[in-house]
Amino acid sequence: MTSAATWSPQEVETVACVGAGVIGGGWAAHFLARGYTVRAWDPGDGAAERLSRLVEAAWPALTELGLADGASPDNLTVVPTLAEAVDGAGFVQESAPEALDLKRRLLADIDAVTAPGVVIASSTSGFAMTDMQVDAATPERLVVGHPFNPPYLIPLVEVVGGERTERWAVDWASDFYRHVGKSVITMDRELPGFIANRLQEALWREALHMVANGEATPEQIDTAITDGPGLRWPVQGPCLTFHLAGGEGGMAHMLDHFGPALKEPWTRLDAPELTSRLRDDMVAGCESEADGRTFLDLVSERDRGVIAVQRALRALKDGGDE
């Protein structure tokens, strides 16, 4: 059993990407843009050509975002075997198709040929690591590193271990992802679909219900988000948004005033009981997120952000920069 990583997150120079589909290709492009040497392996026909096209398509956006010193698509090598992909790698990102049996076999195979102390992360979008690490000889180093598509553009990655994962591996992976420019949520416990997918899925299911019942069209639903709450979310998420909805009284006032609306049939989801514990947890969480910023500070921050988003969108529609 390994009790610590071989390298620190800052010492990694080579990353192995196992799987060269849309997610794996996005990861490869991201790591290349951060200046890493990337070795990739995918058993599918035409994997090398497909991966090359994905990296080529992502590179203009990555260039605009800013490349690390030495970053180049030429630092990518597609190798014929899994063992060659992980040889000398300081981190492994698995991005195989979403099939549990496949994930179990592949993670066990990766574990068998990867040097001790190297963290192995899975890009799974829904499986628990507890269910995927069952066949691995050293499951303590296996973690979930769930990205959002495309990984080279969307900064979020959710990190969580399984029942047999050791804490050092979760912490190491979180630190490494932050080092390569990711916005990291280190989850305290396993949760089907993780955090972001569950939120996204709830919105998606309600949208399907409204279309199925003739209550709204897809265009109306998209406009409702892009021209409504979606403009606020790049600046402040739904919790802080409702914190501001309570005015200077914050989340406490919002819940005390609007809490009864949870019983209204506004969605097909059953609302949780608004217990005193839930109320207090929401209030404390929003106060922590506000981090000393006053109501007026947060309003100013929100307004500046929404204006910036609207200006950027107008410039995009006009075909130029503003």
- Token reading at 88: 């000398």
Residue type, 197: N
Place of tokens 């800013």: 66
Mean pLDDT of 279-304: 87
Percent of the chain residues topping a pLDDT of 70: 98
Tens digit of pLDDT for each residue in 83-113?
999 999 999 999 999 999 999 999 999 999 9
Is the model more confident about 157 or about 233?
157
Domain 14-186: top CATH class: alpha beta
Q: Give the predicted TM-score (pTM) of the model.
A: 0.87
CB atoms within 10 A of CB 243: 27
Under DSSP, is residue 16 helix (H, G, I), strand (E, B) or coil? strand
Residue boundaries of the structural domains of the chain: 14-186, 195-291
CB atoms within 10 A of CB 64: 8
Tens digit of pLDDT for each residue in 186-227?
999 999 999 999 999 999 988 888 888 888 888 899 899 988
**DSSP secondary-structure letter at 270?**
P
Q: What is the overall mean pLDDT for the chain?
A: 91
Give the CB-side neighbour count of residue 64, counting CA atoms within 13 A. Answer: 7
Confidence of residue 322 (pLDDT cuts 50, 70, 90): very low
What sections of the chain are H helices per DSSP? 22-33, 47-65, 82-86, 100-113, 129-132, 167-179, 196-212, 218-226, 229-232, 238-245, 250-258, 276-290, 295-318
Tens digit of pLDDT for each residue in 238-257?
998 889 889 999 999 988 88
CATH superfamily assigned to domain 195-291: N-(1-d-carboxylethyl)-l-norvaline Dehydrogenase; domain 2 (1.10.1040.10)
User: What sign for the dihedral angle of Cα 8, 9, 12, 17?
Assistant: positive
